[in-house]
Amino acid sequence: MVFSIIVPVYNVEKYIKKCLDSIVNQDFHDYEVIVVDDGSTDGGSIICDNYAINYPCIKVIHQQNGGLSRARNVGIENAAGDYIMFVDSDDWIAEGTLKKFGEIVLQNDIDLVVGKAKSIDDYGNTRDKVYYTIPQGKYTIDEYLAQLRDTESYTACAPFTLYKRDFIKANGLSFKEGLIHEDEIWTPTVLLCADTIYCSDVYFYFHYIRMGSINRSNNYNESGKNLFAVVKELQSILSKHDDSYAQVIRDQMVVLYLQAICLVDDYTPNIINANYLRKNSFYAKTKIKSWIYSVSPKIYVLIRNLKGDRRSCQYIL
């Protein structure tokens, strides 16, 4: 069993050593690391090249800046392992991660393995990044989505899942390039293509909340516009799936739309109508928000902004 670990890198000189150390110090040896240097202008490129000299398992690909999605896609194109893992270059994985996941995939024929994660900020505060309470075990994708729906624990984050490479190739899966919030498209697309998934209790991923990273810029309007593009993509994806278990993704689409409304300068973009929002809301809190928005987008945005939600909408993505 061989793992391909894809690490996109862009101007993370301060963080990349911790990320790569967490990988090369694993007590498991059947893996390759594909570092995609996405046009870094700091010293991170040299650090990655030095790691490649000292660790034959590391391959560094240098390219012009094309964004996170492009870097991940290049990693997929060059991956040769049985399973693919994405690790962002300012994050790290726990000791024993590959050994634990190796045992799982050897014992189960599965498309995906999902694990648990913690986030940590500049002040050392940690919290669970994945909130699901689903019992550990193998599920059909219908069963898993039903569990996500019932436990309100859907999370769209590509690095929190291990992917069978043949599954990715067979379904022609790739990240949508040119957008931020790309995981909001990737995750549901992957889930709706999969047949089986293993839900693991392993806390394997540490997500560093770095002020100044792409999803924490103060360009709210641009972020909101990107979210509207994501919502349109999700509409297209979900139009092909009428299954009730996909409702958790439909509800998330509504949540993203309502978050985008708080971020853009014009709060009345004609992307989808209020009836559509109400129809696709599943959870009570989403239904309430959709109802308020249907009464008056202006009142909805005013309430959210009074609560300080323009900033918080940006931060939780």
The domain boundary, picked from 180, 214, 248, lies at 214
pLDDT digits (tens, 9 = 90+) for 198-236: 999 989 999 998 765 544 445 788 888 899 999 999 999
| Same-domain pairing of 239 and 309 | yes
Question: In DSSP terms, which residues pair with 205 in a beta bridge?
Answer: 93, 117
Asked if residue 282 and residue 197 are part of one domain, the reply reads no
Residues 149 and 263 in one domain: no
User: Are 191 and 223 in the same domain?
Assistant: no
Within 8 A by CB and 6+ apart from 103, the residues are: none
Query: Which residue in the block uniquely carries the two structure tokens 């040119």?
Result: 178
Instruction: Tell whether 208 and 302 lie within a shared domain.
Output: no
User: Which positions ≥6 away from 169 have C-beta within 8 Å?
Assistant: none
Both 202 and 225 in one domain: the answer is: no
- Residue 129: phi and psi, rounded to 5, are -90, -30
According to DSSP, the residues that pair with 208 across neighbouring strands are 120
222 and 242 in a single domain? The answer is yes
Pairing mode of beta strands 196-208, 112-120: parallel
Q: Is residue 201 domain-shared with residue 236, that is, in the same domain?
A: no
Q: Which helix (H) or strand (E) holds 84?
A: strand 83-86
Rounded Cα distance between 43 and 73, Å, is 23
Question: Which domain, by its residues, includes 242?
Answer: 217-315
Domain C-terminal end among 185, 214, 243: 214
The 10 Å CB-count burial string (b at 16+, else e) for 42-56 is: eebbebbeebbeeee
CB contact set of 94 (below 8 Å; sequence gap of 6+): 22, 202, 203, 204, 205, 206
One domain for residues 31 and 75 = yes
Residue pLDDT tens, the chain, 317 long: 699 999 999 999 999 999 999 999 999 989 999 999 999 999 999 999 999 999 999 999 999 999 999 999 999 999 999 999 999 999 999 999 999 999 999 999 999 999 999 998 888 888 887 666 889 999 999 999 999 989 888 999 999 999 999 999 999 999 999 988 999 999 999 999 999 999 999 899 999 987 655 444 457 888 888 999 999 999 999 988 877 788 999 999 999 999 998 888 876 666 778 888 999 999 999 999 999 999 988 889 888 877 665 544 443 33
Of the three residues 214, 235, 270, the one that is the final residue of a domain is 214
Same domain, 206 and 262: no
Strands 112-120 and 92-93: unpaired
AA identity, residue 275: N
Looking at the structure, do residues 39 and 179 belong to the same domain, yes or no? yes
Residue 270, pLDDT score: 66
- Give the pLDDT score at 216: 46
Q: Residues 183, 156: contact at Cβ < 8 Å?
A: yes
Write out pLDDT tens, residues 21-66.
999 999 998 999 999 999 999 999 999 999 999 999 999 999 999 9
In this structure, are 206 and 278 located in the same domain?
no
**What is the tally of structural domains in the chain?**
2
- Residue 73's identity, in one-letter code, is N
Structural Rg of the chain based on CA atoms? 20
**Per-state percent for the chain, helix, strand, coil, to nearest 5:** 50, 20, 35
